[in-house]
A and B are shown apart, each in its own frame.
Chain A
């Protein structure tokens, strides 16, 4: 079974530019999550989709971040305009686990550097 794939693996942009990150979850996984890790800090929750619906977007930092999940399949996370503090590694994870463990399968992340 293919894992969670993220694209691009690394993006370097200038402050004020736009970047779109893409995530392809494991096929059939209804739950899709976006997380971000800034250097040395926690893996911080951004938002959660169930199929195409946003279940919880309480972690989105501000309205410069826009996430979509077309048809309940892949998801995109757009940052517009990017600021220096947006630098970090953006992880996508998917899950079909209804147990308490809610095991997440992560992608390898998209490293964003804003100059």
Chain B
């Protein structure tokens, strides 16, 4: 079967750096995506890694190690508006993405 593991909750303070990890076990792997969802809102695309290494987009970076079946999302200079749920998702080769259970990030003042 397919499984993606990520922590259920993370708490950090404004201005800090937080890392959300994701390990995956899937039957196929083409790449790892991250989505952000604010309460009551639509999940929105943040980043995609197909190759090993770090991808940076502003305050957010995403990392992938295919050999370790592991990736993470790094959020820097945390702001209150970053409080949300973050989902990792794998493209297994089917068109539909396989999602994890999400990590709820609480940013405190």
Residues of A within 8 A of B (CB): 3-4, 31, 33, 35, 40-45, 48, 50, 55-56, 59, 91, 93, 95, 100-109
Contacts and interface: CB of A to CB of B under 8 A. Distances in A.
Interface string B94-109: 1111111110000000
Interface of B: 4, 8, 30-31, 33, 35, 40-45, 48, 50, 87, 89, 91, 94-102
Contact of B101 (A41, A104, A105): A41
26 contacts: A3-B42, A40-B102, A41-B101, A42-B99, A42-B100, A42-B102, A43-B87, A43-B89, A43-B99, A48-B95, A55-B95, A59-B96, A91-B43, A100-B30, A101-B45, A101-B91, A104-B35, A104-B43, A105-B42, A105-B45, A106-B35, A106-B44, A107-B42, A108-B40, A108-B42, A109-B42
Contacts, number: 70
Contacts of A102: 91, 95, 97
B55 to A, nearest CB: 11
A103 B89 CA distance: 11
Contacts of A48: 94-96
B102 A43 contact: yes
Contact of B99 (A44, A55, A105): A44
